[in-house]
Amino acid sequence: MDALPEFRLVRPPSLGEVVKARAENPAAQLLGGGTDLLVNIRRGIVAPPILIDINNVEEMRTLKANADTIEIGAAVTLAELAAHPEVAMHYPVLAQAAACIAGPTQRHMGTVGGNLALDTRCLFYNQSEWWRFANNHCLKTTGDICHVAPKSRGICFATFSGDLAPALMTLGAQLDLVGPAGARSIALPLLYIGYARQDEPITQSQGDGKHYLALRPGELIRSVRAKNTPGLRSGYDKIRIRRSIEYPVTGVAVALRREGDVLAELRVAFTGTNPRPVLLEGTGALCGGALDARVFDGLERLVRDQIMSMKTTFTPGHYRRRVAGVLARRLLMRLFEESTPVA
């Protein structure tokens, strides 16, 4: 590994000062726990001259959860989220997702904001400078082509691998953003614009994969909020190569509501497969009946259509897609069985 290059570290004490520091230094980057950013700086992938540490900002350290709502500041750590008793009780999908991220050291340092804004990953990108140089770099940095898909016509397929986003998507989470132009809230899925579809035009809400977040210049994540749905049962599961300190090969979040023997509501979201976390579209059509072959076949079809893994990790894309389907099905069955039937 290379030595860390020079950079300046600033530690603003308030949200207003973070926004000001960010606006004054467009090349600066926010520093949460640094568990991903510092690795990328050390590898020469990014070289921000200034890091703006958000960990002293009280407004970003809120963690409030009860049976009705949850609000999590962007500077809350993954370990704090995983250990919060009300989160585990009312929002198990979140506690479970946080608890299986990386290892204890990264969870102690890593933040919710950093996890949601995590850079996308690829086996040609997350490498040392000399390795990338030897391969003439790639589209995502300074190169001309995508080594994963040489005919990609400017599209990068690097994969989003954060575990919290799919969990929060199944809860219908809203993001609170703040920037030089003021504050705004958006539905979480709208943050992720890494569509990487060659058959569709690139727009403000459909990026080319190199641009994977809808944050405006100087904008940052302040917090994320969700409401509880009475009777919703949720959980998270993931497959990884090692059982700890490892990104997901694929991760799945499921939230469902059971009424008697009927599957009344179903939400399924994935990470580790596409250039963005995917909240499956079309699960509503699988509801309204028993949990039977119609649901399982339908789920399989939705996964096949919407999960488009490319060879961006050491595991083949088609394997990740199959694992995604199997994980989702198993979790769906477990949660349905565990749900107390509501007549």
Ligand X SMILES: Cc1cc2nc3c(=O)[nH]c(=O)nc-3n(C[C@H](O)[C@H](O)[C@H](O)COP(=O)(O)OP(=O)(O)OC[C@H]3O[C@@H](n4cnc5c(N)ncnc54)[C@H](O)[C@@H]3O)c2cc1C
Tokens of 215: 């944050």
Site for ligand SF4 contains 125 (CB under 6 A): yes
Q: In this chain, which of 41, 116, 138, 193 binds ligand SF4, going by CB under 6 A?
A: 138
- Site mask for ligand X (CB under 6 A), range 4-33, x = bound: -------------------------xxxxx
Buried b (16+ CB within 10 A) or exposed e, 214-235: bbeebbbbbbbbbebeeebbbb
Q: Which of 31, 139, 167, 169 binds ligand SF4 (CB under 6 A)?
A: 139
> Could you tell me if 143 and 136 are in contact, meaning their C-beta atoms sit under 8 angstroms apart?
yes
Whole-angstrom Cα distance, residue 105 to residue 110?
A: 8
**Residue 271 or 306 having the CB closest to ligand X:** 271
Question: Cβ 64 to ligand SF4, closest distance in Å?
Answer: 38
63 makes contact, choosing from ligand X, ligand SF4, none, with CB < 5 to 8 Å by partner type, with none
Q: Which is nearer to ligand X, 113 or 235 (CB)?
A: 113
In the list ligand X, ligand SF4, none, the entry touching 125 (Cβ below 5 to 8 angstroms by class) is ligand SF4
- Residue 140 in the binding site for ligand SF4 (CB under 6 A): yes
Asked if residue 147 binds ligand SF4 (CB under 6 A), the reply is yes
- The entry of ligand SF4, ligand X, none near residue 110 (CB within 5 to 8 angstroms by kind) is ligand X
Instruction: Report the partner that residue 148 touches, choosing among ligand X, ligand SF4, none (CB closer than 5 to 8 A by kind).
Output: ligand SF4
Minimum CB separation of residue 79 from ligand SF4 in Å reads 30
The residue from 45, 70, 79, 122 that contacts ligand SF4 (CB under 6 A) is 122
Residue 39 interacts with ligand X (CB under 6 A): yes or no: yes
274 torsion bin: left (phi>0), alpha (psi -120 to 50), beta (else): beta
Nearer to ligand SF4, 77 or 312 (CB): 312
Contact positions with ligand X (CB under 6 A) in 91-120: 101-102, 106, 109-111, 113-115, 117-119
Judge contact between 70 and 228, C-beta under 8 A.
Answer: yes
Q: Which of 312, 313, 328, 332 binds ligand SF4 (CB under 6 A)?
A: 312
Using CB distances below 5 to 8 A depending on partner kind, what does residue 124 bind out of ligand X, ligand SF4, none? ligand SF4
Q: Segment 180-209, which members bind ligand X (CB under 6 A)?
A: none
Q: Which residue is nearest to ligand X (CB)?
A: 114
Among 100, 146, 168, 214, binds ligand SF4 (CB under 6 A): 146
- 325 vs 142, 203, 298, CA distance in Å? 35, 30, 11
Nearest CB to ligand SF4, comparing residues 209 and 218: 209
Interface with ligand SF4, residue 45, by CB under 6 A: no
In angstroms, what CA-CA distances link 177 with 19, 186, 191, 220, 238?
11, 8, 10, 6, 28
Contact flag: residue 273 with ligand X (CB under 6 A): no
Size of the site for ligand SF4 (CB under 6 A): 13
Residues that bind ligand X (CB under 6 A): 29-37, 39, 54, 74, 78, 101-102, 106, 109-111, 113-115, 117-119, 161-163, 220-221, 245-248
